[in-house]
Structures are given as C-alpha cells and as structure tokens.
Amino acid sequence: MVGGDSTVSNTGTKGGSITHLENMLGHKCQWNICAIHTNELPIRHLITKLDGATTSGTGFTEDVCKLLNRVEDLESEPNFEPIGTNGEPLIELPDEVVRNMSTDSQVCYRLCKAVRAGHLPDDLKDIQLGGINHARWLTTQGRILILCSKKHGLTGNNLRGSENAWKLCC
C-alpha cells in the first residue's frame, strides 16, 4: 500500500510518483489517496466558474468571492432563503462521525445543514473562520456558506449570471 495526496505529481498515470514506484517494484500497489484533497476539487472548480481566474494565492476578481475576506463583517440576514432544498437531502451523520472530522469539516457540515434549513444557529452566526487560501478550499467553502446567510446585496449581475451555480455551492 502506498499513500499520498491527490496532486498530479503523485497520482499522474504517466509521470506520478506512485506510478513510478509501481514500475520500479514491477507490480501494482494499492493506492491510499487523501479524500480531503479530492473533495476540495469540486469547490475549486465551482469558484472558478463563479468568480473567474484568481488574482493571487488569496485574491479573487469578481463580486461574489471578493466578499469572502470580509464575510464576518456583513450583517446577518435572519430570513435568508434556504438553499439546496430541491436536490438530494443532506446525509445526517452520527455525532461520533462529526466529532472525528477536522474542525473545518465539522463547521462546513453544520453550515450546510443550517443553510439548507434557512436558519443559522447562534453559535455559527459569529464564527471566525480561517483566512482565504487557494490551497484550503474547505475554509473557502465555509466562508461561502456563511455568505449565504448574510445581507450581501448580490444579484444576478453580480453573480455573473450563475445563480444556479451560486446555489450549488451552498
């Protein structure tokens, strides 16, 4: 068994280090790839669709994601519209599973439940999330979920015509 994160340098079928190791050993290995890294890829692609190309390791170019650095300063919207209620229901995880998740994963899971319900519990209203970093998409997702519950003033034009994509990220 061999493990690592899901970067191409590790998992590439032609030049990844795991493939290279298999070639050296002369047989296939069981791959154990970090799911956290893999799970962050969809949000990265969604943000690129919503916001366009990033401007640096922490910068964004369009209105939606420019708000993410100051999401804690925005006023709460007590009657925000529940998002994502038309799709598959969110899987209810047992408390033991949630306790064993990383802090960022726990917060995102709780925020997903709150945004889908249309009600943000008091302990999540003033939560301080980690900073924006394009290598930490889970933190960015948490900020997007908080943004869904704030008075953000975004409309169809601000959302680059991607209101359905906006709703998908929440």
Residues 116 and 53 in one domain: yes
Residues 67 and 28 in one domain: no
- DSSP output for 2-58: EEE---HHHH-TTT-HHHHHHHHHTS---EEE-HHHHHHHHHHHHHHHHH-S-SSSS
Residues 146 and 158 in one domain: yes
pLDDT of residue 160: 47
Residues 86 and 65 in one domain: yes
> pLDDT tens-digit profile of 12-25?
777 788 888 999 99
Residues 67 and 150 in one domain: yes
pLDDT of residue 165: 47
Residues 40 and 29 in one domain: no
Question: What residues make up the domain containing 148?
Answer: 35-169
Residues 71 and 8 in one domain: no
Residues 109 and 153 in one domain: yes
Residues 59 and 14 in one domain: no
| 63: nearest Cα among 168, 162, 146, 137 | 162
HEC-encoded secondary structure of 69-101: HHHHHCCECCCCCCCCCCCCCCCCCCHHHHHCC
pLDDT of residue 141: 82
User: Quick check: pTM over 0.85?
Assistant: no
pLDDT of residue 127: 84
pLDDT of residue 161: 41
Tokens representing residue 138 in the block:
């889970």
Residues 65 and 137 in one domain: yes
Residues 44 and 120 in one domain: yes
Residues 8 and 39 in one domain: no
Q: Split the chain (170 residues) into runs of 10 and give each run's mean pLDDT.
A: 79 82 91 74 74 65 76 85 78 92 87 88 84 74 85 67 47
Q: Based on the structure, what is the number of domains in the chain?
A: 2
pLDDT of residue 164: 47
pLDDT of residue 100: 92
